[in-house]
Structure 1
Amino acid sequence: MPDPSTYRPAPGTIPELPGVYRFRDPTGRVIYVGKAKSLRQRLNSYFADPWSLHARTQQMVTTAASVDWVTVNTEVEALQLEYQWIKEYDPRFNVRYRDDKSYPYLAVTLDEEYPRLQVMRGAKRKGVRYFGPYSHAWAIRETLDLLLRVFPARTCRPGVFKQARQHQRPCLLGYIDKCSAPCVGRVSAEEHRQIALEFCDFMGGRTDAMVKRLEKDMHAAAEELEFEKAARLRDDLTALRRAMEKQAVVFGDGTDADVVAFADDQLEAAVQVFRVRGGRIRGQRGWVVEKTEDVTFGDLVHQFCSQVYGGERGEADIPREVLVPELPADVDALAEWLSGQRGARVQIRVPQRGDKKALADTVRRNAEEALVRHKLHRAGDLTTRSQALDELAEALTLETAPLRIECYDVSQIQGTDVVASMVVFEDGLPRKSEYRRFAITGATDDVSAISEVLRRRFARYKAETGDEQGQPIDPETGRPRKFAYPPQLLVVDGGAPQVAAAAQTLADAGINDLAVVGLAKRLEEVWVPAEEFPVILPRSSQGLYLLQRVRDEAHRFAITYHRQKRSSRMTVSALDQVPGLGEVRRKALMRHFGSLKRLSGATVEEITEVPGIGRRTAEAILAALGATPPPQPAAPEPAGPQPAAPGVEHK
């Protein structure tokens, strides 16, 4: 593994100018491309103490063997060069926006004598108007089917069009009035082009003028007693309105914008984009990208704008506004570069309120759901789960595939509220009925906590399987005992120290036939007891993905229990200030009211209903919780004359 200090540039040789830099591996292949406003400041950050870097960045600098750079005049030029190099070298450590499919567009070939409406994929060409992208080609055909009645433009292939001109007979669409049949001369080339341009205006958002014109023509035909023409226009108007209903208006001001949102975890990020044109949602796209370095949402916005909008393919799709969840550090340069690509001003901003903020929240929820679907896709596939278990058995030299995996994680804050979790996966799927959680009292760090948890878990295992029955099924209830089944693979969240502690605890318990590994978050290394170096699974390995999912589930379960315990401790500590209120009466109060919030909102009379709580104690409880007891009603004045005060004479 290369040492970053061996290829660090000499002090003072890195210029303080904007530019683009490349990290290369020992074979000379470019593995990372980045841009910087100051090359010296940015590159020096990579050669700090490697252990202070993020795990992904640390992996990149230890994989690289050299670094070089090119200086430019402005950040805008750096953006352009960065895009070109990423496209040319395809570096493995850069975030890459790659679709798993080619999205279709609704295209109007205005570069032809008789423009054609059709579904198009792939690279765009000049002279063609594109609308979309759409999620599915059938959505485009459904839209066309509604609009061809109003805009009967040509949709046939060149061969069909040529054959119809030769035979002077239109196709079926020409007979049912869904094509103006320019092939047989029903309309001239100029008239047909006008129909195609009106279609483009409608798809571009100019719908109100079109509807008003059709309504006016329909009423005029009815007044002139041309009822068949009026009926045809009425049907056209209905079709037009149905097409408009399928394109919901989200912005009433006719905004052209792309709304971008992200959802991420430590390894991947899901990206969702809603394309709004003329105030209407025209299309949606999504990616799931691998985070090969430590990136923020601002960094993801930079990567998204430079890769998706860069080059010839992105030029026609750049909107006036790009709404993002977080602004990148180079937002001004990025906006200037996109403005140059579009030929008009482009704004990049974060929506704060109103309809745009509401749509941004919707896109964010879609991104979160997309990330969950992506992670569950592999987990729900039987073939993939079998492959993952087989890969683990091969990598860890197990005799059989680990059908039952247990994972342990510890959660604490500086040695307080120490808890641990045990999650169980059987056949690659979580078995939540087998989850267990532990409150740790005698340990203050992760290593000692892991030892205590495993000692308690396997002591219960030996007790439940070592009785006279020796069976994992309880004969009285007919249900499995809680700790009666041992795992084939035991995973701890951590590196070599945690694995060593787990292995020693099992050895002390006399259990020597159980595989133990640790999964370290730093570089996703799999540590095995008594091994100097970890097992490195490929990042595309299904076995590594399964281990990561087990580890993340154990972490989630542990942190949830930790928060519950910490909240309960803080609740009880607020009542500790009340003199004379012991543990028994505190528990009675919480049992009666259920929460501290309900207790603080109760009256003195309601609190005194709890056995053992008097009025003075109830008032002290409300005072400790910061709640003022309600004022007591004043005693009614007695009827009749009152005795006069001394020195005062009644008259």
Structure 2
Amino acid sequence: MADPSSYRPSPGQIPESPGVYRFRDEHRRVIYVGKAKSLRQRLSSYFQDVANLHPRTATMVTTAASVEWTVVGTEVEALQLEYTWIKEFDPRFNVKYRDDKSYPFLAVTMNEEFPRVQVMRGAKKKGVRYFGPYGHAWAIRETVDLLLRVFPVRTCSAGVFKRSAQIGRPCLLGYIGKCAAPCVGRISAEDHRDLAEDFCDFVAGRTGTYLRRLEQRMHEAAEEMEYERAGRLRDDIGALRRAMEKQAVVLTDATDADLIALAEDELEAAVQIFHVRGGRVRGQRGWVTDKVEALSSADLVEHALQQLYGEERGEAVPREVLVPALPEPVEPVAEWLTGRRGARVSLRVPRRGDKRALMETVERNAQQSLALHKTKRASDLTTRSRALEEIAEALDLASAPLRIECFDVSHFQGDDVVASMVVFEDGLARKSEYRRFQIKSFAGQDDVRAMHEVVGRRFRRYLAERRETGEWAVPEEDDEPPETGSRGVDGRPKRFAYPPQLVVVDGGQPQVAAARRALDELGIDDVAVCGLAKRLEEVWVPGDDDPVVLPRSSEGLYLLQRVRDEAHRFAIRYQRGKRSKALKEGPLDAVPGLGEARKQALVKHFGSVRKLRAATVEQICEVPGIGRKTAETVAAALAGSSRPVPAVNTTTGEIIDDDER
């Protein structure tokens, strides 16, 4: 690991002009490429105290052994040179957008004598017209099947084409009219190429002119009483319209635009792109990247634009590019895009109207893409193993905690206190082992006391089962089974089979101390305890005045967060279920003649049973369907009930949480 000061250039050596710089390691491999408006200011930011740098930037500057730069005339030239060097050297620390899947394109091989229409994936080839990308290959094939009726372009492979030419007989598509059969000379090479050009124009969105031309020819055939030809043209027009309907109209002004949206966290970012041509969504694609350094949304957008349009020219670059944030500065990027297209390109952030609404749809797709990527990441064995090793190292454990149990407490204004226990084995959730608890020994907002009780109950059950040498221990009546797989073959709850290597509690130092005290009281000293505090994501261990701070990029911290969040979700779900049940079994159930519809009307009108209890008979009569006699009965029934009742959202009818009030 190199010391950045060992290769730091003196400030006088670095020019203040725009340029591109490269960091190299001890083997002279390029590990990072960047551009700057002022090379002196940008490079100086790397050679500060390593502790002040982003963790991955710090790793980069300590891995590097030298830095060099190239001066250019303008920021646009810097942008172009940066992209060229990134493609050439493939530096390990640069942002790399990885496709979240392989997207198929509709391709027309205009570089062949007889152009062919087909589905293509992977790198683009010179001389081939591409349309898309599409979400699924079958969507391309359905569209092509409809268009071949009007544009019978060749779709067969080179082997089939050659064999048909040798035997002088076309394939099936040639017989049914979905191929012009250039293999047997039914159409010349020039006419077939014109047919392929018309196909490309139609797919590219220039549909209106061609449809009007077909309609005119249909009317002319009808006037000349050539009804069979007019019928065929009518069917061709119908096929083209059906093909057009497969692409949803999203922008009514026939806009050509690409919409780029981001979803990001501290470690990763997902990018989604919608390709809109002629006001219709013609394709969609997505990328996921690790954040190598502290990148803003504007920086991510700039990298996405480079990757998206770095090898594109002409009409492949649309007239309008809509983004969530503009690069800083925006002028060089806009000028670079204009140079790629050969005409002006508008780069802007949509603020209102249809384009803003479509951008929100793209953003939702980006969020789902990031969530899916995290799910795949959590299921990766190598990543899970590294996470467990990092936790063991941070907490000074003898071995990796293969079984982790996490506890969380939830209540509603001090009432209906419950707790959850979730289990992760080898970094994966084991839902059949989940447990939930009711706290009946006290009421109130005392999370520390509740945590002590729940951890003690869980491990008392474990000790009791050990003493009984495999026989079922009698469960406490208020221990609840998990949400799935809760019972064994004989119908009784599964045992608390064996202890975890690590107990995680949702909270800070007080909750950790309570959990440790519960274990000490039972004589259990071979189970580690830690807590994860939400505010700063600090890891607390018993007896330490200072928390353990794991790097934000740590896989161990990511696993602890998932465990904590799952325990919180499970506890909240149990708590809300109990409150919903309490509402259904509330004091209104005791009112004779009051059905479900009128109970809901009362709660919706007043917002909660508590407010209903404070209402007068006259105010209750204002509710539609409630007469005076019923109102008096309701008021009398509620006057005799003092049990606290949850508040309800007056719009949705849902129960309101404490933190939503």
Cα deviation for residue 302 of structure 1 reads 0.8
Bigger-Rg structure (1/2): 1
Cα distance between partner residues in 2 of 1:560 and 1:5: 54
Cα distance between partner residues in 1 of 2:519 and 2:179: 82
Query: Structure 2 matches for 1:189-228, cutoff 5 A?
Result: 189-228=189-228
> Which letter does structure 1 place at the counterpart of 2:204?
G
Could you say which residue in structure 2 is the equivalent of 1:649?
none
Could you say which residue in structure 1 is the equivalent of 2:336?
337
Once superposed, what is the RMSD of the aligned Cα atoms? Answer: 5.0
Question: For structure 1, which runs of at least 5 residues remain unmatched after alignment?
Answer: 411-418, 443-448, 562-589, 613-651
> Which letter does structure 2 place at the counterpart of 1:94?
N
Cα distance between partner residues in 1 of 2:187 and 2:257: 37
Could you say which residue in structure 1 is the equivalent of 2:373?
374
Query: Structure 2 matches for 1:85-484, cutoff 5 A?
Result: 85-99=85-99, 101-310=101-310, 312=311, 317-377=316-376, 379=378, 384=380, 388=384, 392=388, 396=392, 402-406=402-406, 424-427=422-425, 428-429=428-429, 431=431, 434=435, 458-459=455-456, 461=458, 474-476=475-477, 479=480
SS in 1 for 2:289: strand
Could you say which residue in structure 2 is the equivalent of 1:515?
528
Cα distance between partner residues in 2 of 1:8 and 1:168: 73
Cα distance between partner residues in 1 of 2:89 and 2:164: 49
Distance 1:274 1:14, change over 3 A: same
**Which deviates further from its counterpart, 128-137 or 432-441?**
432-441
Deviations 1:350-405 (A, max 9, x none): 111122111111111111112222223455x6xx5799379737984767863343
SS in 1 for 2:106: strand
Deviations 1:241-283 (A, max 9, x none): 1101111222222222111111122222121111112222111
Contact 1:499 1:527 in 2 (8 A): no
Could you say which residue in structure 2 is the equivalent of 1:568?
none
Question: For structure 2, which runs of at least 5 residues remain unmatched after alignment?
Answer: 411-416, 482-492, 575-602, 621-634, 641-661
Cα distance between partner residues in 1 of 2:104 and 2:230: 36
Contact 2:76 2:332 in 1 (8 A): yes
> Which letter does structure 2 place at the counterpart of 1:175?
Y
**Which deviates further from its counterpart, 359-368 or 136-145?**
136-145
Cα deviation for residue 79 of structure 1 reads 1.0
Deviations 1:329-369 (A, max 9, x none): 13211111122222222221111112211111111111111
Cα distance between partner residues in 2 of 1:525 and 1:402: 21
Distance 1:41 1:393, change over 3 A: closer
TM-score by length of 1: 0.71
Cα deviation for residue 518 of structure 1 reads 7.6
Could you say which residue in structure 1 is the equivalent of 2:596?
none
Contact 2:107 2:131 in 1 (8 A): yes
SS in 1 for 2:45: helix
- Aligned pairs, number: 562
Cα deviation for residue 166 of structure 1 reads 4.0
Cα deviation for residue 182 of structure 1 reads 2.6
Distance 1:95 1:394, change over 3 A: closer
Cα distance between partner residues in 2 of 1:435 and 1:21: 57
> Which letter does structure 2 place at the counterpart of 1:19?
G
SS in 2 for 1:46: coil
> Which letter does structure 2 place at the counterpart of 1:388?
R
Contact 1:389 1:402 in 2 (8 A): no
Contact 2:182 2:192 in 1 (8 A): yes
Cα distance between partner residues in 1 of 2:22 and 2:573: 42
Query: Structure 2 matches for 1:532-571, cutoff 5 A?
Result: 546-551=559-564, 553=566
Could you say which residue in structure 1 is the equivalent of 2:488?
none
Could you say which residue in structure 2 is the equivalent of 1:76?
76
Cα distance between partner residues in 2 of 1:65 and 1:493: 43
Distance 1:603 1:359, change over 3 A: farther
Cα distance between partner residues in 1 of 2:218 and 2:175: 23
Contact 1:148 1:179 in 2 (8 A): yes
> Which letter does structure 2 place at the counterpart of 1:99?
D
TM-score by length of 2: 0.70
Cα deviation for residue 214 of structure 1 reads 1.9
**Which deviates further from its counterpart, 39-48 or 260-269?**
39-48
> Which letter does structure 2 place at the counterpart of 1:290?
D
Distance 1:472 1:209, change over 3 A: farther
Cα distance between partner residues in 2 of 1:343 and 1:237: 34
Distance 1:107 1:6, change over 3 A: same
Contact 1:261 1:363 in 2 (8 A): yes
Distance 1:351 1:540, change over 3 A: same
Contact 2:449 2:514 in 1 (8 A): no
> Which letter does structure 2 place at the counterpart of 1:82?
E
